Homo-oligomer: A and B are copies of this chain.
Amino acid sequence: MYSLGELADRLDLQFSGDATRPITGIANLASAGPSDLSFFVERKYLEQLRTTGAAAVIVAAEYAQQCPVDCLLSDHPYLMFARASQLFDGTPQPQPGVHAAATVAAEARVHPSASVGPHAVVEAGAEIGAGSVLGAGAYLGHGSRIGERTRVCANAVIYHDVQVGSDCVIHSQAVLGADGFGFAQGPRGWEKIVQSGGVRMGDRVEIGACTTVDRGALEHTVIEDGVIIDNQVQIAHNCRIGKNTAIAGCSGIAGSAIIGANCTLAGGVGVVGHVEICDNVHVTGMTMVTRSITEPGSYSSGTPMAATGEWKRNAVRFSQLDAIQARLASLEKQR
């Protein structure tokens, strides 16, 4: 719980209203109650702002007049909402120390302020930094390292020779460092190329649930500082994902692809192997990136959704497109 004045202080914001007003949580404008903080970001919610039952609202100065309750004034209300949400973080925190039902190798180093949950495993040579959490049932392989204040959630798996930075979150069932998909064709079928590279992840990285980041074939797969990756994403061996890039759910990045900094990939995007995407590129949902991108901007592929009957009539013409263009060219010649 904070008073409004304390919140303003923590967020470094001006406020108007009762400094002593108690604030106990955060809520949307429509559902906020008399001890909740809310926030106003999009004009379409203006009516909700005018009628909110919140204790106070984070709002840009130009809308303060229309806020019927106390205000925290900010030019960046969404960002301030994010920071406020961190102040009210109610995620259960485990006790420091190694749980009696964990299995930690004698040769591992776990900082006394770190927490290792029940049935978690820490292999020889692994290290866990101050304030970090290895959740219940999670696995940390030989020689792998977790920085400080990083949270590895229940049952996540980190193979050997993987380094995770500080202030990261690795969600459940994520897998860091499984073998890249490397095989050579031989007379006996596929022969495995042992994947001897590791994974190197920077600080403030978030890895979603069921997301996989493969180890490198010979060199490392690299995830730079501040990268955020949603659930169900596949990052193949020897990829490099640049600083502060965001990748939404169900995307797949094939081997040795290099993605620049500050890119955003929407959901379901595919990137083929060995391409390079420059900084500041946005890729729209379910696009397939089939070649390198050298200019910042937004890129897309795919076709519009339609009722299936209508779609079918058009889709069949797609298969005739080259012929259609030839017919058109033929008519053009005749005129």
Contacts and interface: CB of A to CB of B under 8 A. Distances in A.
Contacts of A211: 210
Contact of A302 (B228, B303, B332): B303
Interface in A169-187: 169, 171-173, 175, 178-179, 181-186
Nearest to A273: B267
A297 interface: yes
Contacts of A99: 103
B324 A304 contact: no
Contacts of A183: 82, 206, 228, 246
Given A171-B179, A286-B288, A288-B302, A250 B234 contact: yes
B315 A193 contact: no
Copies in the complex: 3
A317 B308 contact: no
Interface in A57-110: 76, 78-79, 81-83, 85-86, 88-92, 99, 101, 103
A308 B298 contact: yes
A196 B252 contact: no
Given A267-B252, A322-B317, A328-B324, A290 B285 contact: yes
A45 interface: no
A contacts with B: majority SS: loop
A308 B314 contact: no
B28 A218 contact: yes
A33 to B, nearest CB: 12
A285 B254 CA distance: 10
A231 B301 contact: no
Interface of A: 25-28, 31, 76, 78-79, 81-83, 85-86, 88-92, 99, 101, 103, 117-119, 121, 123, 135-137, 139, 141-142, 153-155, 157, 159-160, 169, 171-173, 175, 178-179, 181-186, 188-194, 196, 204, 206, 208-212, 214, 218-219, 225-226, 228, 230-232, 234, 236, 243-244, 246, 248-250, 252, 254, 266-268, 270, 272, 282, 284-291, 297-322, 324-325, 327-328, 331-332, 334-335
24 contacts: A82-B182, A82-B192, A82-B193, A92-B123, A92-B160, A103-B118, A121-B136, A137-B139, A153-B178, A155-B155, A157-B209, A169-B179, A175-B209, A209-B212, A210-B232, A234-B249, A249-B252, A288-B305, A291-B305, A298-B309, A314-B318, A315-B321, A317-B322, A327-B328
